A and B are shown apart, each in its own frame.
Chain A
Amino acid sequence: MSDTMHKTDVIIIGAGPVGLFAVFELGLLDMKAHLIDILDRPGGQCAELYPEKPIYDIPGYPEISGQGLTDKLMEQIQPFHPTFHLNQMAESCTKLENGNWQVATDMGTTIEAPVIVIAAGGGSFMPKKMNMEGEDDFAGQSLFYAVRQREVFKGKDLIICGGGDSALDWANTLQPEANSVTLVHRRPDFRAAPDSVNKFMELVDAGKAKLEIGTPEKIIGSNGQVEGLRIKPKDGEAYDVAGSCLLVFYGLTMKLGPIANFGLNLHENLIPVDTEKFETDTPGIFSIGDINWYPGKLKLILSGFHEGALMAQKAFAYVYPDKKLRFQYTTSSTSLQEKLGVNDKAA
């Protein structure tokens, strides 16, 4: 088996709090899990949207930050050694002849398992687009929302849009190898780290980069090739700047993405499940957390935890069809305590 082909008990799509806690519930029942997430770290919305913001409705924690909760969950599931496939998006889902499912990611990773759990929250975090006419014709050819291969930008006249860390860091990093760099931002202040801003302003002062304050109005170019950008300043007439390559860093938004094509029923972009097992209408595929739907659904982290516990009970039947599930409590069961590494008396 190569590095990119894996076999496990359960594939969890989404490494947010609910996906992470599912590892725990599955682990207690001896099921191993692989998690796939498009972000570069676990935590989902808790890590991406509000790492510093306090959450007040996690049982047992009067107040905990998004990152704090993520850290605690990672600690809690550590005994079960989950495997993470980060920076990648679950792209397809296929039923194999042996009855297992195979999930493939956009990075070429494939994972086989009898059970899939979709815990994808609000969907995949994807770059926000510019919302300009003809944008998609340029995308991937001369307009990019991320830097995957730096060579692409060598010798180009770069127009970089945005005022956050990604925009400023890439402007600074690519400046020496690009033919020219123009940064376009809607206001003279930046939310990027002051260090990066200072570094960029030094480039501007030295005549090595340009800064344009205004809002992009139109992409100029044809046949997928960007030739420039029309910019509307706050006061005054729009004007054009020339460039052969556009880099857009407007932050992330959540989209359902390829899960929409997994052949599951959808209810307004959510995945309907039953409330006994949180299984979809496709046997072996479960859905928990914000992305599922059932009558009375509440989008709360704690609801997702509950859903994960019940899901694990049924997942067991797929992973161990010949075994009888015996429900036990972590407070009393020595075998569970051994799994968690907390039983001193067992030895």
Chain B
Amino acid sequence: MRIFVTDFDGTEHELEALEGWRVMEIIRDYGLPIKAECGGACSCATCHVYVDEEWFGKLRPMEPEEEEMLDEAYDVKDNSRLSCQILMGEELDGLKVTLAPNPD
């Protein structure tokens, strides 16, 4: 399985994805600059990504907890998600996301 992640300078990276991993973990493990301060507890909004339009509808809808946490993210858009809340599975093979800005 693969996911495609566009980083801050617009470069697209192809990442090997593993079933059951959170997309945040896949991005972090690959070494892209994702803060993910709380380590996947849906408590910090620093793993914010934009999901490509064609994939957005295929994700499991947000739980209220994730929607609430997005209040603390920057530049939230309609296709914003927290990547720690996206669980990798066959149906997401080829998923495309873009890292959202995460200023210091």
Q: Are A49 and B38 in contact (CB under 8 A)?
A: yes
With A163-B71, A164-B71, A250-B72 as contacts: A131 and B101 at CB distance below 8 Å? yes
Q: How far is the CB of B69 from chain A (nearest CB, A)?
A: 8
Q: Are A186 and B104 in contact (CB under 8 A)?
A: no
1/0 per residue, CB under 8 A from A, across B34-73: the answer is 0101100101111000000000000000000001100110
With A45-B38, A129-B103, A191-B68 as contacts: A50 and B76 at CB distance below 8 Å? no
Q: How far is the CB of A14 from chain B (nearest CB, A)?
A: 15
Residue B21 at the A interface, CB < 8 A?
A: no
1/0 per residue, CB under 8 A from B, across A176-196: the answer is 000000000111010100000
For A255, the chain B residues whose CB sits under 8 A away are 104
Give complex CA distance A122, B44 in Å: 13
Contact of B72 among A45, A50, A53, A251 (CB under 8 A): A251
- Closest-by-CB residue of B relative to A234 is B78
Q: Are B72 and A128 in contact (CB under 8 A)?
A: yes
Q: Are B71 and A185 in contact (CB under 8 A)?
A: yes
B-contacting residues of A (Cβ < 8 Å)?
45, 49-50, 53, 122, 128-129, 131, 162-164, 185-187, 189, 191, 215, 250-251, 253-255
Q: How far is the CB of B20 from chain A (nearest CB, A)?
A: 15
Give complex CA distance A116, B104 in Å: 27
Q: Are B103 and A131 in contact (CB under 8 A)?
A: yes
1/0 per residue, CB under 8 A from A, across B80-92: the answer is 0000000000000
Q: Are A50 and B41 in contact (CB under 8 A)?
A: yes
With A49-B43, A163-B71 as contacts: A254 and B101 at CB distance below 8 Å? no
Category for how many chain B residues contact A: 10 to 19
Give complex CA distance A163, B35 in Å: 23
Give complex CA distance A128, B38 in Å: 15
Q: Are A215 and B38 in contact (CB under 8 A)?
A: no
State the total of A-B contacts with C-beta under 8 angstroms: 44
With A163-B71, A191-B71 as contacts: A254 and B37 at CB distance below 8 Å? yes
Q: Are B45 and A251 in contact (CB under 8 A)?
A: yes
For A53, the chain B residues whose CB sits under 8 A away are 41, 43
Contact of B76 among A189, A215, A253 (CB under 8 A): A215
Dominant secondary structure at the A interface: loop
Q: Are B71 and A186 in contact (CB under 8 A)?
A: yes
Give complex CA distance A50, B35 in Å: 16
Residue B8 at the A interface, CB < 8 A?
A: no
For B37, the chain A residues whose CB sits under 8 A away are 49, 122, 253-254
Please list 17 pairs of residues, one from A and one from B, whose beta carbons are closer than 8 Å in the complex, sorted by A's number: A49-B41, A49-B43, A50-B38, A50-B41, A53-B41, A128-B72, A129-B103, A131-B74, A162-B71, A187-B67, A189-B67, A191-B68, A215-B75, A250-B71, A250-B72, A251-B71, A253-B35
- Closest-by-CB residue of B relative to A131 is B103
For A164, the chain B residues whose CB sits under 8 A away are 71-72
- Closest-by-CB residue of B relative to A250 is B72
For A50, the chain B residues whose CB sits under 8 A away are 38, 41, 43
Quick one: which of B41, B46, B67 has the most chain A CB within 10 A? Answer: B41
Quick one: which of B43, B68, B71, B72 has the most chain A CB within 10 A? Answer: B71
- Closest-by-CB residue of A relative to B71 is A163
Q: How far is the CB of A31 from chain B (nearest CB, A)?
A: 31
Q: Are B74 and A253 in contact (CB under 8 A)?
A: no
For A185, the chain B residues whose CB sits under 8 A away are 71
Quick one: which of A162, A215, A250, A251 has the most chain B CB within 10 A? Answer: A251
Q: How far is the CB of A82 from chain B (nearest CB, A)?
A: 26
For B67, the chain A residues whose CB sits under 8 A away are 187, 189
With A45-B38, A129-B103, A131-B101 as contacts: A253 and B71 at CB distance below 8 Å? no
